[in-house]
Structure 1
């Protein structure tokens, strides 16, 4: 699959964008490119691959994000990911956590653009699907102008199919990963300048984009937008992606209909030995800002703690939202 539509993507997020989250998000948008959580090369090569990499074809298009810095290991992990059916392999050059730094990958690779280029070249040689990179504008005391240019030039020369840029520096020491998502200032202009310098290269932007209005504004300057926390915490916004961002003549999915369509999916998951919590923890923000949102969150949160809970939990929560909707309209 080489003709991926990357105009809108949901960012890879640790502990969030698992297979159940992606199934839920896919029910809201058919066109958005979805990403796995980051998986290290060591885990892919030596770990429980089905648990780490398994996904449903209904989630496609899905990209696998890898963490690593050894070209041979990345090539091997990329081949495994391609064999699993992923539509794209993405290299993480943006995560600032201590664990990632100790493994010499993630954001610290901003300091080694030549190595990142070698990694991309090795993965490109190993697979026929697209290979992309997600990076920061710099780290620590780096000047984002030469730092981002050096990274971009290296991976473009290596054949990357797209470069996603989180428009913040990462501070490798002194800030937690959570703080690194908020404290360093955003610099969208730096990403716009990169796109202007590389008009023939796909450049996507990430960081602090909270709604589709902002996404549309960014698309006047870059090729794609990637939303993380906003898409996860207010997932109803994904219902407008296919129409507003991708230009399809479709009606936005109705959140009530989305839940109703997922009930049999979740029931089947429960019958196969899974837990309802796997799905519903990702669905808490679906009705945010609407009557019944509080009841929806409360019923799902409390009910999902029961390991024997079934899909009827969503039926009860949906009924509460409808009841509050009617009361508000009365």
Structure 2
């Protein structure tokens, strides 16, 4: 696999796949801060890709690379076919979702319920690896419901490693499939970072990234310095992108350009103009930029202008009106 070392390096810091959030516009925006971080698509279900009604969700700008496709599903052959399609579309990595606690079911249960079926997950991964030239990775939980993570997680990792998986991201929380909403599952089950570090000690040959509750680059550095291979950040990277991504290339990889939020806006303008010219709406892109100036004077004005005046057929000039709120407050 030609991409391994590059992806291993990029996976030192990644932005989590998040439904309704990490679409192609969001990823292009995040890429303006960091040339190195690994970005992920929203989860796409394998049946939707194979049937063709979600093919449009596979579209991405080459500037987004390195970018990975996340798949959801439970049927090995269907997932293998979807992985092959994703690889053919240009994704160097295809990730299997074994962590989402949603109760959606297509072609049987998928997501976090996979923690209860490690043999099936191994079969799926084996089929995906055989069918695709992309690297196949897994994102999982430490367990679900009444499972004992100290028993379940090592078994799970042993089986997917035997199937050929060599990179995994572990969300350091259990998922409660009964009684908690997906939103509550992001906060209520306690985090167990030591268990994830223990897994790295027990599986030194696996590339292990940690996910869950990490809200700053300083926290990310602690996990990396303690021996983990990567850190995946979700909501913090979305809500406060500048705080997480501005210094990422310097702090995580020791190289790269640091761009100010103003420079990022300038770089987004041609992209937004092209999107509007192609029949898109400005807010398709700018909804991902609302947290850009979070914590700075004028941030509220920036959000207000984009949220109210940036809807519908809004012209790109609205971006300058929003920016003026920051500049006059500075």
TM-score by length of 2: 0.96
Q: Show the counterpart of 1:257.
A: 263
Q: Show the counterpart of 1:296.
A: 302
- Alpha-carbon shift at residue 320 of structure 1 (Å): 1.5
Residue number among 57, 63, 66 corresponding to 2:62 in the alignment: 57
- Alpha-carbon shift at residue 86 of structure 1 (Å): 0.7
Q: Show the counterpart of 2:231.
A: 225
Q: Measure the CA separation in 2 of the matches of 1:46 and 1:251.
A: 41
| Contact persistence 1:89–1:130 (CA under 8 A) | yes
Q: Show the counterpart of 2:253.
A: 246
Residue number among 144, 147, 151 corresponding to 1:142 in the alignment: 147
String of CA shifts for 1:43-67, please: whole Å, max 9, x gaps.
Answer: 1111334422111111111100000
String of CA shifts for 1:30-87, please: whole Å, max 9, x gaps.
Answer: 1000000000011111133442211111111110000011111110000000011012
> What is the DSSP-based 3-state SS (H/G/I as helix, E as strand, rest coil) of the residue aligned with 1:210?
coil
String of CA shifts for 1:117-137, please: whole Å, max 9, x gaps.
Answer: 011111111112210000000
Q: Measure the CA separation in 2 of the matches of 1:192 and 1:231.
A: 22
Q: Show the counterpart of 1:328.
A: none
- Alpha-carbon shift at residue 103 of structure 1 (Å): 3.1
Residue number among 203, 211, 215 corresponding to 1:210 in the alignment: 215
> What is the DSSP-based 3-state SS (H/G/I as helix, E as strand, rest coil) of the residue aligned with 1:138?
coil
Aligned length: 323
String of CA shifts for 1:281-305, please: whole Å, max 9, x gaps.
Answer: 0000010011110111001111222
Q: Show the counterpart of 2:112.
A: 107
Cα 1:102/1:188, change in 2 over 3 Å = farther
| Contact persistence 1:11–1:227 (CA under 8 A) | yes
> What is the DSSP-based 3-state SS (H/G/I as helix, E as strand, rest coil) of the residue aligned with 1:281?
helix
- Alpha-carbon shift at residue 258 of structure 1 (Å): 0.5
5+ residue gaps, structure 1, are: 326-330
| Contact persistence 2:73–2:111 (CA under 8 A) | yes
Residue number among 119, 128, 131 corresponding to 1:123 in the alignment: 128
String of CA shifts for 1:252-277, please: whole Å, max 9, x gaps.
Answer: 21110110111111011101100101
Cα 1:34/1:2, change in 2 over 3 Å = same
TM-score by length of 1: 0.96
> What is the DSSP-based 3-state SS (H/G/I as helix, E as strand, rest coil) of the residue aligned with 2:204?
coil
